[in-house]
Amino acid sequence: MTIRTVETKPIAGQKPGTSGLRKKTAAFMAPGYLENFVQAIFDGTGGAKGKTYVLGGDGRFFGREAAGTILRMMAANGAARAVVGRGALLSTPAASHLIRLRKADGGIILSASHNPGGPEGDFGVKFNTPNGGPAPEPVTEAIFAATGALSRYLISDAPSPDLSAEGIFDLDGMPVEVVDPVADYQALMERLFDFGALRALFASGFTMRFDAMHAVTGPYATAILEGALGAPAGTVMNGAPSEDFGGGHPDPNPVWAKPLVDLVMGPDAPDFAAASDGDGDRNMILGRGLYVTPSDSLAVLAANAAAAPGYAGGLKGIARSMPTSRAADDVAAALGVPAFETPTGWKFFGNLLDAGMATICGEESAGTGSDHVREKDGLWAVLLWLSILAKERKPVSEVMAAHWRRFGRRYYSRHDYEGIDSDAAAEMMAALKARLPSLPGATFGGLTVEAADDFAYADPTDGSVTAGQGVRVSFAGGARAVFRLSGTGTEGATLRVYLERYAPPDGDHGEETQAALAAVIAAAEDIAGIAARTGRSAPDVMT
């Protein structure tokens, strides 16, 4: 054994959220920074002795070096075994599945999700618990407390194994099992979906493009779409993971995946297109000439889940984050299953999934998933969409039109006001909350308020209450506006306003989204006084 005890001191600011600790790559590369946080993970979760861990990440810059350091620390702290993706690669949903499959004691995921990578970009370390999901707040608080009490970290001086080849290697007495990062995940997808039906879809001449955005889903999409399902070579775009994501921003939205959006809106558009993010847990769905909002995608997947064998028995429930449109609620009501409205954060979904109360979950920020793992899963959403298209043999536009004819359409948009004065933003939200009791019954922009509150969530699984999650204002006829403040700092604050209007099944489903929401936009302005309080007459970003 070549264990070394290194004296250290607490480093300020190592407070993880449910998405772990994210900082600039240079911060993690500073002497002792990564080591301190990893030791705090072990110390804050009862120690590593005798435990099995899963390790991998999205392939961003510094990932392999970080993986080697973490393995040496696992060995020094007495871990029984480490299971690592070849090349230190594992998508976040694949890591979640591997933790559950191997009955591991947890996993460390090296990713900053959709944030840019490279030496000037971002890096992140996240701890997932034995259920495969992100560490809940009591665990992250314990890890944070440990960061403030560190006086040493343990590390082996033995060289870390070569992670480029599969096999079992010894690291100072700890077996390190290097595995194919795709194989177990692909086997899970083969159990959930009818790969024969999907092969027949591609054999029929169906065309598709999947933009992996130079990120971790490239190998997964290539193996599954082009390999197992027989999609033509070239179906997967930007499929080789890059340490800086090809110099781009691995966020699957119409801005950062613009070439894909331009393709589906052009004369040579494929039948279907999709993209995923840096660590593979988000998705964007498109059809020929059509962008499908994440809220609508969640509702369509829930309504048509039986197209995949893994969901033929029906759904136990459907969950969405509070800012996500209520399109999923309409589906739940029609199916006769519970609908859950949670705060933003996958840990709330994880509680429902573990309790067997929900099957499919989603967020307006492009995350969708099911009870097959405890993370959102971009490629899973793509395969379920393909299953629906294989069954219906209709274009995406017709699938959406049929959905709206059945459930109605929830016109939906998010307006972001970025970099506004933090004090002005806080004052606006305080004034808005003070007005809440007087809003019901009042009329703004021609819309009458039915209900208004500051959203608080009582978790049905454990009774915990999470308050202050955003202001909801519901109008007669099914319209809604939600106001949330996101972050403060030297660049100010970001105000997010989520706008929604319901058109019934026999209503007009073909309006331009912003035009359809004009009355809700006007009402939101009248209620919150955004222009007067922030000096902004229009949002910086509309999605």
474 is an active site residue: no
What is the C-alpha separation between 382 and 366, in angstroms, rounded?
12
H/E stretch holding 65 reads helix 63-76
Residues whose CB is less than 8 angstroms from the CB of residue 535 and which lie 6 or more positions away in sequence, other chains included: 420, 424
In 3D space, the residue among 526, 413, 523 whose CA is nearest the CA of residue 477 turns out to be: 523
E-strand spans in 302-350?
318-321, 339-342
Give whole-number Cα distances, 485 to 471, 493, 529, in Å: 10, 7, 15
What is the C-alpha separation between 91 and 111, in angstroms, rounded?
9
Taking a C-beta distance cutoff of 8 angstroms, is the pair 215, 279 a contact?
A: yes
In 3-state terms, what secondary structure has residue 70?
helix
E-strand spans in 328-389?
339-342, 360-363, 367-370
Residues whose CB is less than 8 angstroms from the CB of residue 487 and which lie 6 or more positions away in sequence, other chains included: 493, 494
The pair of structure tokens assigned to 209 is 């493009």
> Is residue 515 packed enough to be buried (19+ CB in 10 Å), middle (13-18) or exposed (0-12)?
exposed
Active-site entry in 113, 295, 321, 413: 113
What is the C-alpha separation between 491 and 487, in angstroms, rounded?
9
In 3D space, the residue among 7, 51, 57 whose CA is nearest the CA of residue 28 turns out to be: 57
Taking a C-beta distance cutoff of 8 angstroms, is the pair 80, 214 a contact?
A: no
What is the C-alpha separation between 306 and 231, in angstroms, rounded?
23
Instruction: Check residue 540 and give left, alpha or beta (phi > 0: left; psi -120 to 50: alpha).
Output: alpha
H/E stretch holding 430 reads helix 422-435
The neighbour count for residue 266, using CB atoms within 10 Å, is 10
What is the C-alpha separation between 500 and 268, in angstroms, rounded?
32
In 3D space, the residue among 443, 534, 457, 453 whose CA is nearest the CA of residue 496 turns out to be: 534
Give whole-number Cα distances, 465 to 95, 354, 456, in Å: 29, 18, 7
Taking a C-beta distance cutoff of 8 angstroms, is the pair 344, 322 a contact?
A: yes
What is the C-alpha separation between 375 and 100, in angstroms, rounded?
12
For the chain, percent helix, then strand, then coil, each to nearest 5? 35, 25, 40
Taking a C-beta distance cutoff of 8 angstroms, is the pair 251, 114 a contact?
A: yes
Q: What residues act catalytically?
A: 113
